[in-house]
Every structure is written in structure tokens, then in C-alpha cells.
Amino acid sequence: MAVAASSSSGHYYDVFINFRGEDTRKIFVGHLYRALEQKAIHTFIDSEELRKGNDLSKLLKAIDDSRLLIVVFSENYASSTWCLKEIVKILECMDAQNQIVVPVFYQVDPSGIRKLKGSYAEAFAKHEDDSNANKEEVHGWKTTLTRATNLSGWDSRDYN
């Protein structure tokens, strides 16, 4: 049964999927998106065209306009400043608008993300070494990742 978009709640999309395209677009996220669309669930998924011009405004608006926010954590998720900025907005919407956030851990250990190990540690080392980086923003991303990984979600390693 599809969730109908409701003008009274201000939600245009039923679902927004936040993900690192290089890791999951053609595999897990592509299948998830098709499955939701087949059930007539109006789902927002970004496209490569949105990435051109470096303008996040359409993505942030889509997050605001969605009922359910799915965050797909993957190996290289934290290397994307776009993903990190989106997850901050996602948790802001969860707090302010009571939107539902569901984390999916795609081939990654949630505790590794929480403790910033492996590729997450490497990504944050690069963010912190970037002379153009806003140090407060980078610290906020760490805090947000910890909060998001503490939410109840799905670990793909538990399923065949």
C-alpha cells in the first residue's frame, strides 16, 4: 500500500534516500528505488545532474518535503561532504518535524561508523586536513553520524 503525499503535512515525497552514489547507486539503492516506485511510493533519489553546479538547495528542499528519510551508510559515505551535509539536515528534520529516519548499514559495521574507524576515520582525517574546511561543521558531522548510527535500522550483513 502506498503512502499518499499529503498537502496538509507539507510532504511532497513519501521517501527520500540519502546515499553515496559511487558505493550503492547501481546496486542496493537502485533496487530499493525501483521497489518503492513499483509500490507507487513517491521517492526522491538524486541524480548526477543535481551534482553539477554544487547546489544542495534542491536536495535539502526534498529532505524537508519527505515523510520518511532513508540513510544508506556505505564504505565511502563519509568521504562525501554532500552526504554529510544531507545527514545534518535529515536529523534536523527528524527533530523539528518528527520525520522518520531509517538508517541502512550497507556492508559496513555500525559501530565502526560510530567510532570513526576504517574508511570513516580516513575520510574525517581528510576533512580535517582540508584548509578550506569549516572545523565546526566537520565536528558537527561527527556528532551527527554518531546520533544517526544510534537510531534503529537495518544492517545488510544480517540478511542474504
- Select which of 37, 86, 92, 137 is catalytic: 86
Nearest to 145 by CA among 102, 120, 114: 114
The DSSP code for 5 is P
For the question of residue 49 being annotated catalytic, the response is no
Residue at grid coordinates 503535512 = 9
Written as one letter, the residue type at 31 is: H
Cα separation, 5 vs 159, in Å, equals 30
Cα separation, 110 vs 131, in Å, equals 29
Cα separation, 28 vs 33, in Å, equals 9
Which residues carry out catalysis?
86
